[in-house]
Amino acid sequence: MSEQQVLNFTTLAIDVEKVVRELAEAAGLRAGELLILGVSTSEVQGQYIGTSGTLETAEAIYRGVEAARRDIGFHPVYQCCEHLNRALVMERGVAERLGLELVSAIPMPRAGGSMAAYAYRQLADACLAETVQAHAGIDIGDTFIGMHLRRVAVPVRPSIRTIGFAHVTMAYSRPKLIGGSRAVYTVEESAGGTCD
């Protein structure tokens, strides 16, 4: 990282909170639903993914997520890097309630990623789940969270396109639209309809 690429950790936390709130609003995210976060702290610092992660950067991002979580009540899920097969850090009670398959590992900055390692030490009774189907997700640094989102994913354009120096993408999921041309998708459309 060059001398010009210095992060302000307070601004970083504020920016993360802002994009989390934007996604939650667009998604209609409710208390108890899952928000997956894929984060490359290396990319946030302006470095190549997997090369320069720091727990200090992860801590600032975590603070931003937590500020929004306290108000909204979603359950954060933090994706590990490919060295742990993109397993997910979450609270054990949530994983057990959802019947998720747990895996045995403790994420570390060099195997799992700094964000997952930091979150693992902050969450109450943290564990790793093999996979989830999250209601919404934020990808900071092109870590590819799509494998852990429910179908059908709807992209959301954040007002802040980078967190630190990392590219940000977001999406939420919606139920599949089924039934073809005769199907009705809103309560308002259903008034007076009949089916033979």
The pTM assigned to this predicted structure is 0.90
pLDDT at 3: 40
With respect to residue 2, please indicate whether it lies within any of the assigned structural domains.
Answer: no
Is 87 contained in some domain?
yes
- In-domain check, residue 3: no
- What residues make up the domain containing 107? 9-190
Instruction: Reply yes or no on whether the pLDDT at 76 is more than 60.
Output: yes
| Closest-CA residue to 118 (of 127, 128, 108, 110) | 108
Residue 196: inside a domain:
no
Number of domains in the chain: 1
**Domain of 113: which CATH number?**
3.40.50.10360
The answer to whether position 160 is within a domain reads: yes
Q: Mean pLDDT, the chain, as a whole number?
A: 93
For 151-160, what is each residue's pLDDT tens digit? 999 999 999 9
pLDDT above 70 (res 93):
yes
For residue 36, being part of any structural domain is answered with yes
Neighbours of 131 (CB within 10 A): 14
